[in-house]
Each structure stands twice: as structure tokens, then as C-alpha cells.
């Protein structure tokens, strides 16, 4: 046995004892400190939320006492007469969000299926194969790249500021939908949803822009849900002879349904809270109407419009409106999160 070998053995022994050593007091302290810190920050976040709700509630208290439930059913907002009611704003908020959500879901889900089922890349691959380029190293990554580019582009929609959406709505969407909307009113005016003319801002342009704004949320989360459908199910579906169409509609979508529903509810939450674009496009008129072309108001737009110039009483009423909005959004978000959690649990069972 040479000396170098003994050295190595000794070194190995030391290494083993080093691993087996209990953590030093410093390490224990650091560990504890880190845990305390993260715990503290987490608690702080929760407290912050509670504090926000509390301080809004405190300012809103006089208005809650003064107006009570009447506040929800009142139809006018008149600072001059201290008469405050938010029924049109509540209705407008929910109506515009649902309309936007329908548009966002149809397109978002279509995009999610298109991307998750690799329609694009498989199509491109067959084209490349036909051209005899598929085996070249430069070309074989192309389908993936293009698919990623598409996905990133759609996700970029979420990065556009809502003021920009609002301006785009005023200068592009409104003139674009107006002729069609007024044609519908002329010919189908007896249907309540086409009951008024679209002069400029109104629910329809607001809903169109809202649909584009919630689209990235819905498509990204739905895609994740579809991708998470276990390969076993995927193969089994094709194994029993389902066509692609049947497999997607009858197997993949139902399997991912809870995830998709969660995506839709999260999109709903986003639509409810959207402020600037709606303040610019909905028309800010306290009107209750089924018509898609009628101007409307939303809670968030009401807050943004009236807050800067409000007096003490009006601020109270606005805070009350804020609480109502907060409650609606909270309910929708909690539902969304719960459904997403269930989706995860269900898929775990399948794996």
C-alpha cells in the first residue's frame, strides 16, 4: 500500500464524516432566520390585503350606513344631490365581462387546442418532409420555433397597457363595428340585444377589446391544462380508433375541462377589474339596457372617473362601490382557484 493510497482513504473517511456532521450552529441559525423571514413576509402580504379591505371599509362605513342596500338597486349617481346608486354599474360590469369572456373563451380555447395538439408544427413538418428538408439540422427546429413564436406573441397581448387598448378601441374598433351594428339594429331591432343604435362608445366595442385582453390568460392556462392530459389517455384515445376530431372533443377537452374552467374564471376576474380601456370605451353612462350597442358603465370605470374630484360623501360612496367590486372579484377568483386545484388533483389520479 503506497502512501498516496492511504491518503486517499483517509480523505474519503473525512469526507464521509463531513457529510454525516450535524449542521453547525451558524447553519441552524441561518436556516431558522430564513424560515422566519419567509414566514414574516407571507404573513405581511396577508395582513396587507386585510388592511386594504379594512381601510376601504372604514371610509365606506358612513355610506354603507346612509345608503344600505338601496345603494345596490339605485340607478343614478348624482353628486349634486348626494344620490348614489350602482345598479347600472354592477350590471354593466358583469354584462361586459361576460360578453368579453365569451369572445375570449372561443378564441382562447381555439388557440389552446391549436397549440397543444401541435397542429402547426406537424403541418409544417409534413411540408418540410415534402421538400426534403426535414432531416437537415437547421430546418428541423423550425416548426417548434414558429409555434413558440406564436405562443409568445399571444402572451405579449397581456403586456399591452390598457390605455393603448382603449385608444385602439376608440380609433379602430368603434368605426369598424359601427356599420355592422347599425345594420343589425335596423333589421333585427326587435331583438332586445340589438335594441339601440351604436353611436360611438358602447358595450360591444368594450366587449371586443375586453375579449382580446382576457385572451392570453385563457389561452395560456387552457393550453397548460390540455398539455397536462396524460399521454396514456392520449394514446388510448387513438388506440380505440378515435379520429383526431373525436379525440379532442370527446376525450381531451373533457379531461382538461376543470383546468379550462379555471382559466375562464381567472379571465373573468381580470375582465371584472379592467378599468382604463372600459372607461374609454363603454361610454360611462348610467344606463340599464340589454342592448349590445347601448352605452354602459362599469364599477371600475366609475371609481376611476369620479375619485379625483370627489368630496367626502362621494368618496364614501365610491369606497362602498369599491367594496362591492372587491367582493364580486373575490368570489370569482376564489371559485377559479378552487376549480384549478380540483383539476390538478383529478389529473394526479389519472397518472
Partner 1 sequence: MKSGLILRTRSIWVSMAFFVLALAWGIFGSSSRMSAADVGEPITLQGTGATFPAPLYERWFAEYNKLHPNVQVNYQALGSGAGVKQFQQNLVDFGASDAAMTDEEMAAVKNGAVLLPMTAGSIVLAYNLPDGPAELKLSREAYVGIFLGKITQWDDPAIAKANPGAKLPAAKITVVTRSDGSGTTFVFTTHLTGISDAWKSGPGAGKSVNFPVGVAGKGNPGVTALIKQTPGAIGYVEYGYAKQTGMPMAILENKAGKFIKPDLESGQKALASVKLPENLRAWIPDPAGDSSYPIVTYSWLLCYKKYQNPKVANTLKALVQFGLDQGQSYSKDLGYIPLPTNVIADDKKALDLIS
Interactions with partner 1, residue window 252-281 (CB under 8 A): 279-280
As a dihedral over the C-alpha atoms of residue 212, residue 213, residue 216, residue 222, rounded to 10 degrees, the angle is -80
67 is a site residue for partner 1 (CB under 8 A): no
Considering only residues 7, 78, 186, 235, which one is a binding residue for partner 1 as defined by CB under 8 A?
Answer: 78
Written as nine digits, the cell of 2 is 503506497
Total interface residues for partner 1 by CB under 8 A: 39
> Considering the rule CB under 8 A, would residue 152 count as an interface residue with partner 1?
yes
Q: If binding is defined by CB under 8 A, does position 228 make contact with partner 1?
A: no
Of 161, 175, 180, 192, which lies in the binding site for partner 1, with binding defined by CB under 8 A?
175
Residue 286 lies near partner 1 (rule: CB under 8 A):
yes
Q: Tell me how crowded residue 276 is: count the other CB atoms within 10 A of its CB.
A: 17
Task: Give whichever of 120 and 242 is closer to partner 1, judged by the CB atom.
Answer: 120
Residues 289-318 that bind partner 1 (CB under 8 A): 295, 301, 304-306, 308-311
With CB under 8 A as the contact rule, the residue among 14, 49, 70, 141 that binds partner 1 is 141
CA dist 298 and 296 (Å) reads 7
- Rounded to a whole number of angstroms, the minimum distance from the CB of residue 282 to partner 1 is 9
Q: Give min distance, CB of 345 to partner 1, in A.
A: 26
Query: Residue by residue, what is the 3-state secondary structure of the chain?
Result: CCHHHHHHHHHHHHHHHHHHCCCCHHHHHHHHHHHHHHHHHHHHHHHHHHHHHHHHHHHHHHHHHHHCCHHHHCCCEECCCCEECCHHHHHHHHHHHHHHHHHHHHHHHHHHHHHHCCHHHHHHHHHHHHHCCCCCCCCCCHHHHHHHHHHHHHHHHHHCCHHHHHHHHHHHHHHHHHHHHHHHHHHHCCCHHHCCCCCCCCHHHHHHHHHHHHHHHHHHHHHHHHHCCCHHHHHHHHHCCCCHHHHHHHHHHHHCHHHHHHHHHHHHHHHHHCCHHHHHHCECCCCCCCCCCCCECCHHHHHHHHHHHCCHHHHHHHHHHHHHHHHHHHHHHHHHHHHHHHHHHHHHHHC
CB of 150 to partner 1, least distance (A): 11
Q: Kindly tell me which of 199 and 333 has the beta carbon lying closer to partner 1.
A: 199
Nearest 5°: CA angle at 218, between 222 and 249?
Answer: 40
Stretch that binds partner 1, among 17-25, 45-53, 193-201, 328-336 (CB under 8 A): 193-201
The residue (of 185 and 268) whose beta carbon lies closer to partner 1 is 185
Q: What is the distance between the alpha carbons of residues 231 and 76, in angstroms, rounded to a whole number?
A: 56
Minimum CB–partner distance for residue 80 and partner 1 (Å): 4
23, 200, 230, 254: which one binds partner 1 (CB under 8 A): 200
Among 88, 100, 202, 262, binds partner 1 (CB under 8 A): 202
| Least spacing, CB of residue 193 vs partner 1, in Å | 19
Task: Report the site for partner 1 in 82-101 (rule: CB under 8 A).
Answer: 83
Q: Nearest approach, Cβ of 76 to partner 1 (angstroms)?
A: 5
Q: Does 341 bind partner 1 (CB under 8 A)?
A: no
Query: Of these, 100, 283, 316, 336, which contacts partner 1 (CB under 8 A)?
Result: 283
In the complex, minimum distance from the CB of residue 170 to partner 1, in angstroms, rounded to a whole number = 5
- By CB under 8 A, what part of segment 102-131 binds partner 1? none
Which spans of this chain sit near partner 1 (rule: CB under 8 A)?
76-81, 83, 141, 144-145, 147-149, 152, 167, 170-171, 174-175, 197, 199-202, 279-280, 283-286, 295, 301, 304-306, 308-311
Amino acid at each position: 500500500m503506497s502512501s498516496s493510497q492511504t491518503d486517499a482513504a483517509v480523505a474519503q473517511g473525512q469526507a464521509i464524516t463531513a457529510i454525516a456532521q450535524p449542521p453547525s450552529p451558524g447553519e441552524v441559525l441561518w436556516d431558522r432566520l430564513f424560515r422566519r423571514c419567509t414566514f414574516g413576509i407571507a404573513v405581511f402580504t396577508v395582513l396587507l390585503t386585510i388592511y386594504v379591505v379594512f381601510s376601504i371599509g372604514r371610509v365606506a362605513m358612513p355610506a354603507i350606513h346612509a345608503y344600505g342596500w338601496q345603494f345596490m338597486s339605485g340607478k343614478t349617481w348624482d353628486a349634486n344631490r348626494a344620490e348614489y346608486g350602482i345598479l347600472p354599474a354592477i350590471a354593466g360590469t358583469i354584462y361586459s365581462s361576460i360578453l368579453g369572456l365569451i369572445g375570449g373563451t372561443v378564441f382562447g380555447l381555439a388557440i389552446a387546442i391549436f397549440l397543444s395538439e401541435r397542429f402547426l408544427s406537424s403541418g409544417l413538418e409534413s411540408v418540410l418532409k415534402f421538400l426534403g428538408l426535414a432531416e437537415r439540422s437547421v430546418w428541423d427546429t423550425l416548426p417548434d420555433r414558429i409555434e413558440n413564436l406564436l405562443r409568445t406573441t399571444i402572451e405579449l397581448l397581456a403586456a399591452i397597457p390598457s390605455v393603448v387598448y382603449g385608444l385602439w378601441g376608440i380609433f379602430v374598433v368603434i368605426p369598424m363595428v359601427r356599420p355592422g351594428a347599425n345594420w343589425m339594429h335596423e333589421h333585427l331591432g326587435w331583438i332586445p340585444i340589438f335594441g339601440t343604435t351604436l353611436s360611438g362608445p358602447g358595450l360591444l366595442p368594450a366587449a371586443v377589446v375586453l375579449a382580446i385582453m382576457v385572451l392570453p390568460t385563457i389561452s395560456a392556462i387552457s393550453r397548460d391544462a390540455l398539455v397536462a392530459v396524460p399521454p396514456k389517455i392520449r394514446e388510448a384515445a387513438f388506440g380505440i380508433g378515435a379520429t383526431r376530431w373525436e379525440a379532442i372533443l370527446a376525450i381531451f377537452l373533457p379531461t382538461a375541462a376543470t383546468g379550462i374552467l379555471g382559466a375562464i374564471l381567472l379571465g373573468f376576474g381580470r375582465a371584472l377589474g379592467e378599468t382604463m380601456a372600459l372607461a374609454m370605451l363603454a361610454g360611462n353612462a348610467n344606463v340599464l339596457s340589454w342592448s349590445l350597442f347601448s352605452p354602459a358603465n362599469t364599477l371600475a370605470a366609475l371609481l376611476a372617473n369620479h375619485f379625483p374630484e370627489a368630496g367626502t360623501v362621494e368618496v364614501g360612496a365610491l369606497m362602498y362601490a369599491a367594496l362591492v367590486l372587491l367582493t364580486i372579484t373575490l368570489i370569482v377568483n376564489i371559485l377559479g382557484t378552487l376549480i384549478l386545484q380540483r383539476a390538478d388533483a383529478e389529473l394526479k389520479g389519472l397518472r
